[in-house]
Amino acid sequence: MIKGLIYDFDGLIIDTEICDYHSWLEIYQEYDLDYPLCEWQKIIGNYSAIPVPLDRLDRLAGPIDRNAIDKRRMARSTELALKQDLLPGVMDYLENMRLLGLKAAIASSSPRTWLDCILKPRNLARHFQTIVTGDMVNQVKPSPELFNAALKILGITPAEALVLEDSVNGLIAAKSAGIRCVIIPSSLTRGMDFHDADLVLDSLDSMPLTTLIEHFNGDAPDA
């Protein structure tokens, strides 16, 4: 019986990933360099205190003022993300969770400060019992630590949870935590290999929450 949903954030609730990618691409273009999409796709769903694109830029065009560039890039990414709408179906899911008595969490590799920049203006945090972020754990996705932490706080077992993700790293993390995973590809992860997913949806708008829960309650794993 599904008792709770664990949501990824970037690319799942709002398509911030494309904002992040474009902000890095703009920085690279200032140095007459390209930042191939395939390189960005490798790190979607992951996060490090020293961003991979920054290290790459330093190798290709350094020495650079790393702090100044990262601060400017983050400001640009936030600017773009604040203009993004919620992805299709997200608000319906958030509003219907309470009607169905479901618990909910966000488990994101990104730091809490980043999520707050996007969540607070929209008052979205009220929909979740907990928000677990990359700066709260030792290892981010593809480690299962974020999802394990969310399960513990929600007080549910892996069999009672459902993860909603958009990335391969998130899928690996969910499976490592023993949780069934629904993939809703983002604009940047569409076409990637999600063969291990329990279900792949074009968008949350393509399947009502009640139908999704019925689907998985009818396919419950053995306890």
Active-site residue, from 10, 15, 70, 198: 10
Which amino acid type is present at position 176?
S
| CA R_g for the chain | 17
Give the predicted TM-score (pTM) of the model.
0.89
What's residue 50's pLDDT? 57
Q: Which residues contact 47 (CB under 8 A, 6 or more apart)?
A: 109, 110, 111, 134, 140
What's residue 48's pLDDT? 64
Torsion 195-201-109-65 (CA) sign: positive
- Give the pLDDT of the chain (223 residues) as one tens digit per residue: 999 999 999 999 999 989 999 999 999 999 999 999 988 888 887 766 557 899 999 999 989 999 999 999 999 999 999 999 999 999 999 999 999 999 999 999 999 999 999 999 999 999 999 999 999 999 999 999 999 999 999 999 999 999 999 999 999 999 999 999 999 999 899 989 999 999 999 999 999 999 999 999 986 544 3
- Residue 10 a catalytic site member: yes
Q: What is the spatial distance between Cα 183 and Cα 206, in angstroms, rounded to a whole number? A: 12
Is residue 184 within 8 A of residue 12, CB to CB? The reply is: yes
- Residue 222 a catalytic site member: no
Residue with tokens 């030792």: 138
